[in-house]
Amino acid sequence: MNRKRYKQLRVLVAFFVGMIVSIAVAKGSYLLATAGVFTGILFMFLVRSRAKITTDERELSIQEKAARVTYSIFAPTLGIISFLLLLPAQGGFTVFSKGEWLFVESLGIVFAYLTLFLITLYAIVYYLFNKKYGGNGDE
Amino acid sequence: MNNKLKVYRAMHDLTQEQLAEAIGVSRQTVIAIESDKYLPSLGLAFKISRLFKVKVEDIFLEEGSEDEN
């Protein structure tokens, strides 16, 4: 199986998974939707390993750049949103600390922890890769 | 950085698809290298030079180098 056939198969599987999920959601069967998605993932994993499709270095380079840009946009955006959501409650506007507006502060807290998690994860992954590629300072 | 990949590919009568398969990359990567939009890694550059049985610097030229043209 060549790369072209693999891509065609991937589109076909995505189409079928989409169809199954749509039907499942319409019928309210979330189990079927989950099963459909996992079956699709498993099928593509098997096809990929059998066809020996390897990601070439240009694709890897593109993925690296895309991940870097995504991170540099997503992390500050999430941080700023969490700050803005937490600001009213912390700024003495008690209306945001109780009643129907309480969700604003809760959402802010969730976003703040998500930001922390994202930065921590990035730092850990960066440290591990830095160590792997000889950036530990040893001569 | 410029390269003569297209020239060497033509000299060896290879299609982009055949070259891509021989060096283990996608056809899009070959197209990108040929059009100077992507600079290959050292490993891939050596692979290409081995395939054409020439030196790396015969295919990949630094901009402004004497060999250019």
- A65 at B interface, C-beta within 8 A: no
In a domain? residue B41: yes
Q: Coil, helix or strand for B20? A: helix
pLDDT of amino acid A70: 96
Interface test with B, best of A57, A61, A64, A133 (most B CBs within 10 A): A57
- A61 at B interface, C-beta within 8 A: yes
Q: Shortest CB distance from A3 goes to which of B26, B32, B44?
A: B26
Q: Say yes or no for a CB contact (<8 Å) between A57 and B29.
A: yes
Count how many domains chain B has.
1
Mean pLDDT, all residues of chain B: 89
Q: Say yes or no for a CB contact (<8 Å) between A58 and B24.
A: no
Q: Coil, helix or strand for A40? A: helix
| Same structural domain, A43 and A102 | no
pLDDT of amino acid B69: 46
Give A-chain residues touching B29 at CB under 8 angstroms.
56-59
User: What own/partner pairs with CB < 8 Å and gap ≥ 24 does B61-66 have?
Assistant: B61/B1, B61/B2, B61/B3, B61/B4, B62/B1, B63/B1, B63/B2
Residue B14 lies in domain: 2-53
Which chain A residue lies closest to B20 (C-alpha atoms)? A56
Q: What is the pLDDT of residues A29-58, one digit of tens each?
A: 888 888 989 998 898 888 877 776 666 899
Q: How far is Cα of residue B43 from the mean position of the Cα atoms in its chain?
A: 12
ipTM over 0.85: no
Residue B9 CB neighbours (<10 A): 20
Domain boundary among A33, A51, A69: A51
DSSP per residue over A74-130, as a string? HHHHHHHHHHHHHHHHHTT-GGGGSGGGHHHHHHHHHHHHHHHHHHHHHHHHHHHHH
User: What own/partner pairs with CB < 8 Å and gap ≥ 24 does A114-118 have?
Assistant: A114/A78, A114/A82, A115/A75, A115/A78, A115/A79, A115/A82, A118/A71, A118/A74, A118/A75, A118/A78
Strand partners, A78: none
Strand partners, B26: none
In a domain? residue A66: yes
| Same structural domain, A97 and A42 | no
Q: What is the pLDDT of residues B10-25, one digit of tens each?
A: 999 999 999 998 998 8
pLDDT band of A110, cuts 50, 70, 90? very high
Give B-chain residues touching A56 at CB under 8 angstroms.
24-26, 29
Q: What is the pLDDT of residues B48-59, one digit of tens each?
A: 999 999 999 999
Q: Shortest CB distance from B44 goes to which of A3, A54, A57?
A: A57
Task: Give the span between the Cα atoms of A24 and A31, in whole angstroms.
Answer: 8
pTM above 0.90, yes or no: no
| Same structural domain, A37 and A86 | no
Establish, for the pair of chains A and B, how many residue pairs have beta carbons separated by less than 8 Å.
21
Q: Which of A43, A62, A46 is nearest to B26 (CA)?
A: A62
Q: B31-59 as b/e, with b when 16 or more CB fall inside 10 Å? A: ebbbeeebebeeebbebbbebbeeeeeeb
B38: CATH: 1.10.260.40
Interface test with A, best of B5, B25, B39 (most A CBs within 10 A): B25
What integer is the mean pLDDT of A85-113? 80
